Chain A
Amino acid sequence: MRIPPERLAEILDVAEDGIVTVDSQHQIVLFNRGATKIFGYDPAEVLGKSLDVLIPLASRGVHRGHVEQFARGPVVSRTMGERRTVTGRRKDGTEFPVEITISKLIVEGEILLTAIIRDAEDRKKYEDALLRLNQDLEERVRARTAELAERNLQLTQKTEENEMFVYSVSHDLRSPLVNLEGFSEELRIVVRDLQRLLQDERIPGDLREQLDALFAGGVRESIDFIRTAVGRLSRIIDALLRLSRAGRVVYQTQVLNVGAIARRVVDAMRKTADEKKVEVMIGELPPAWGDPTAVEQVFANLIGNALNYLDTSRPGRVEVGALPDGSPSGSHTYFVRDNGIGIPEAYQSKLFRALQRLHPDKAPGEGIGLAIVRRVLERLGGTIRVESVVGEGTTFYFTLPAGSQ
């Protein structure tokens, strides 16, 4: 069907939105019922008047500028206050937010501007509520972050206290241990000398035999057990000292040529690698930010482990590399991969704890290396994780803050 032209005006009039048309002098030439509802004016009160009656005093100048700019411009229609809310003024003087779309039409050489106006008070209310909600959320996130930072600080202090404690205890234990080590060595020497004296022919043969048996079986064996135990104790204490030192030593952070550090470590282990016929490959390693000695320690432990825990039934391969960018911003992920014996899933969570060893027969050690690695990375602002399949191999991934390039 076709709508007869005279009814078009009716449609305009009953529209819920306010429709206001002004001529080039900004005089109102059309004011529908919707506009009456929004502004409180009857059409008769505003027709022929300046558009300014609908605009708060303060923004009249700015508004006029906008309208004139639009009238001259090439754009035919546009929404004002889509994001920003424009303010309107009711008959009773109250001001309220409105959403306006204006369009222009040239009728008989005259520019007519039509504004479709929607009361945005409700929308504004929702927006304000949303805004408040957002602020509230942000506030809570901030508070929680601060709380976490505080907790973190407390934890760090706790860790440092623990390290201080471990350090002083291990240090104090060294002193009595030196006596144990020293005097068991003295005993060994004395027994050796006594056994020599036993060779003197003035000693009757049967007595010599009995004494010899006592020395060899009773005394020397006991001493050997003590010395083995003391040696082990000593290595454990040294390992604890090293761990606590890793947490306390002062770092000199700088941009690091990680590739050079990894090559230095591999060169130092070249002999071991060659003996075990292991192929070691080093890929492209981007610069990091950290302490050179600490990062070298990380590579030394991981590469050392890779060489230690190989599967002798196949040629060993160790690869040092970095993941392509796409790591969390501001950091790089490096890895040390081997095709060794692997680590069972159940053990992986214990791996980074001090004094934990899964393959004590494969290599000498105290189970402190990975604990040091984890502590060092924590201090440098990095993380470490492991992926491993028994019988296939292990990859350690760790992150370091990126060095500026």
Chain B
Amino acid sequence: MSHESMTILLAEDDDGHAQLIERNLKRAGFVNRVVRARDGQETLDIVRTGREGLPPSSQFLLLLDINMPRIDGVEVLRQLKADPRTARIPVIMLTTTDDPREVERCYQYGCSVYITKPVRYEDFVEALTRLGMFLEIVKLPSAPNGDRPTP
């Protein structure tokens, strides 16, 4: 199965964080479409009922911030994993702290990977490698430019 058509759903309420994440996704070689949700409810809505130009049947990779207003990331994770229709969506949790209890709670609910902000593009590469998706999703840019990852 190819993941090129996969949509990255970025659930993040902080504009700065969202912008930083998108830049680093690009640096990591992502060419996929990125859709932004600004809180937990919007995230659930998009996954469940879709959005213009984005049917609910779309394949998602969810980058999920924990600290969001209204419904937080952990609750979104719990609801998605509890519903067989959405349980298989791969989820990468994003957080500002490495609180061990928080990490454990997320793993209990079934999150795949956990990244502490600020997110460097290496973290994405590693997270996707752990999800077994890296080679399928990434197209390394052919021409050198400023956004290319430097080791």
Contact = CB atoms under 8 A, between A and B. Distances in A.
Interface of A: 171, 174-175, 177-179, 181-183, 185-186, 189-190, 193, 196, 238, 241, 245, 249
Contacts of A186: 20, 23
B74 to A, nearest CB: 14
B53 interface: no
Contact of A179 (B14, B101, B146): B14
B14 A174 contact: no
Contacts of A241: 97, 99
Contact of A182 (B20, B97, B99): B20
B143 to A, nearest CB: 14
Contacts of A190: 146
A190 to B, nearest CB: 7
A2 B118 CA distance: 111
Given A171-B96, A175-B67, 19 more contacts: A171-B67, A171-B97, A177-B96, A178-B14, A178-B16, A178-B20, A178-B117, A179-B14, A179-B17, A181-B118, A182-B16, A182-B117, A182-B118, A183-B20, A185-B120, A196-B146, A238-B97, A241-B99, A249-B101
Nearest to B94: A178
Contacts of B99: 241, 245
B61 to A, nearest CB: 21
Interface in B3-24: 14, 16-17, 20, 23
Interface of B: 14, 16-17, 20, 23, 67, 96-97, 99, 101, 117-120, 146
A178 B120 CA distance: 11
A193 B14 CA distance: 27
Nearest to B23: A186
B148 to A, nearest CB: 10
Contact of B16 (A183, A185, A238, A249): A183
Contact of A178 (B96, B101, B146): B96
Chain B binding surface, main DSSP class: loop
A187 B120 CA distance: 14
Given A182-B20, A185-B118, A193-B146, A175 B14 contact: yes
A53 B14 CA distance: 100
26 contacts: A171-B67, A171-B96, A171-B97, A174-B96, A175-B96, A177-B96, A178-B16, A178-B17, A178-B20, A178-B96, A178-B117, A179-B17, A179-B20, A182-B20, A182-B117, A182-B118, A183-B20, A185-B118, A186-B20, A189-B146, A190-B146, A193-B146, A238-B97, A241-B99, A245-B99, A249-B101
B20 A174 contact: no
B17 A182 contact: yes
Contacts of B119: 182
Nearest to A171: B97
A249 B99 CA distance: 10
A185 to B, nearest CB: 7
Nearest to B99: A245
Nearest to A170: B97
A268 B50 CA distance: 50
A178 B97 contact: no
A249 B14 CA distance: 28
Contacts of B118: 178, 181-182, 185
A79 B38 CA distance: 92
A174 B117 CA distance: 9
Contacts of B97: 171, 174, 238, 241
A189 B26 CA distance: 14
Contacts of A245: 99
Contacts of A183: 16, 20
